[in-house]
Structure 1
């Protein structure tokens, strides 16, 4: 039996060797960060996200309802306040900084500096992109990594039940790490695809996804927004290829990889059964 198991592993390894390197990287990149993250319960994640959102709001000037920026965001958001069981909360920070971020509790914050830079459909893509980070739980991973890299971990009690309260003295460091943490290339691609699908489903101008990223690419490499949302120029080129039908989305690529693995496993199983049948003749 050990020989058969070893043979199966060998055949499977040979099958994997035939897959493109980029596809294997695409399929495994998400798992690398997951290994680094400290596991937190969903309750703990949501509790810390709410506290972090409240702290971030307290540190910024929020556009009131009668403000032009707030009115514009309300018009752009429309009825997109819930999707996939997630309740989204939108606000504008009155700051010249070009930035936007999301939290695991559905918080999405847009800086007025970013609103000045982008037109309506370009902003809709950014909003859809941030929605994607939440829906695909990229923010959960960022929160776990931020939790593991700061002193907050020592200040939280009973995280398996109520997750405790984060001391205000610890919140500043935690939120700074959380907002500034970089998304992986795969996560950015997935969020871009989510935003692009959002644009298509709502009938918005999908070309705005490309122009939005092209505008953001003009920011310096050391810009705070690009530190957490890297390579907008390359991402713009990627979306352009998708719109031209020359490139599939990450979801389609993953489906293709799974289909390929399934077919390879069937072939490996058939070869193994053939070897076992042949070997039985000599037993």
Structure 2
């Protein structure tokens, strides 16, 4: 809560004070303030709603294994050991037909496994990977990741709004820089 209040105060201050300086893009400052506000006030319901939309989009962009597919049958068997809910949220397990090696879970219970991963791992290994992904959801990491994304966007817009050296960078370069700084706290190296 303390961090939320501080972030909100910084966002509002930056938005208000930026208007006093020449050469500042007010639209980007306002956007920065809104992104910081979203980062500070993001609720569990917001995260689930965003996850619903993201899952639908991902499903529409990927080929899903059919209900009679060997992958779907295998995943159903593995999923029985993991359960059908995360802290009361129903889980939807599906397989994407792609050679990519990945699996993920979202706050709304959307769990996706890539057939490429299933081709390389045993059932027990896949169960371990999915248990890990479900753990992220249970511990609220989805919300933290979305808050970080909003904070990154706020930093990108705030830097872009100024007329100094930082404004000479492209939006993507600024985003990469801001993301690197913000995410360095999560680095494993």
TM over 0.5: yes
Matched residue, 1:119: 122
Task: After superposition, give the CA deviation of every residue in 1:57-85 in whole Å (9 maximum; x if it has no partner).
Answer: 11100001001111100111116102421
Q: Give 1 or 2 for the bigger CA radius of gyration.
A: 1
> 1:152-163 counterparts in 2 under 5 A?
none
2:184 and 2:68 map into 1 onto residues whose CA distance is 34
1:142 and 1:182 map into 2 onto residues whose CA distance is 13
Matched residue, 2:138: 135
1:50–1:105: 8 Å Cα contact kept in structure 2?
yes
Higher relative contact order (CA 8 A, sep 6+): 2
1:98–1:112: 8 Å Cα contact kept in structure 2?
yes
Equivalenced residue count is 127
Structure 2 unpaired stretches of 5+: 8-35, 155-178
1:60–1:183 Cα change, 3 Å: farther
Query: How big is the alpha-carbon RMSD for the aligned residues of Structure 1 and Structure 2?
Result: 2.9
1:91–1:110: 8 Å Cα contact kept in structure 2?
yes
2:103–2:111: 8 Å Cα contact kept in structure 1?
yes
2:86–2:109: 8 Å Cα contact kept in structure 1?
no
Task: After superposition, give the CA deviation of every residue in 1:123-153 in whole Å (9 maximum; x if it has no partner).
Answer: 00011001100000111111222244459xx
Q: Does 1:59 align with 2:56?
A: no
2:42–2:143: 8 Å Cα contact kept in structure 1?
no
Matched residue, 1:110: 113
Q: Does 1:145 align with 2:174?
A: no
1:183, distance to aligned residue in structure 2 (A)? 9.8
Matched residue, 1:94: 97
